[in-house]
Amino acid sequence: MYGITPFEKKTYDLFNAFHDFEDNFFGTSTFPSCKTDIRDEGDKYILEAELPGFEKEDIKLDLKGDNLVITAEHSTNNEEKDNNGKYIRRERSFNTYQRTFDISAVDANMISAEYKNGILILDMPKKKAPDTTTKRLEIK
């Protein structure tokens, strides 16, 4: 693999004009994905994922083989009751984001993560290039 490949990116389906309508009306079974920028810094990749409104404890980073899975889950529950204990207003929300990246070109043991101001920043050093020098063997 030559770099980091994101998966689960939604694209417009030219051959199914009602695809977006179906997803919006019925919902999809996949998680929405967070906006992500990836920079190649020569010896490493810098991945920046926007996760506004999440706390550091809401975010999970999992390595599954050559894949990095970023998952963020957040829920809120606001209740306001009157003097009789009846609801005046009750609102709940649950947000989940999940994104998977192919990191076969990354040294997974050296990945470091930082979360500040709603941005998850991953510093991912590249794997060392294999030795490609040619060596001739002597025939005995």
Largest CA distance in the chain: 97
Instruction: Summarize pLDDT for 32-82 with one digit per residue, the tens.
Output: 567 899 999 999 999 999 998 889 999 999 999 999 999 998 877 777 777
Q: Is the dihedral of CA 105, 100, 62, 65 positive or negative?
A: negative
Residue range 91-110, pLDDT digits in tens:
777 778 889 999 999 999 99
Correct CATH for 33-125 of 3.30.300.30, 2.60.40.790, 2.60.120.460, 2.60.40.1220:
2.60.40.790
Residues contacting 105, CB < 8 A, separation 6+: 1, 2, 3, 4, 126, 127
pLDDT in tens, 2-30: 466 555 444 455 555 555 555 555 454 44
Q: CB count, 10 Å around CB of 55?
A: 10
Q: CA nearest 58: which of 103, 120, 123? A: 120
**What's the distance, CA 130 to chain centroid?**
28
Tokens coding 44 = 């490493």
The reply to whether the predicted model has a pTM over 0.95 is no
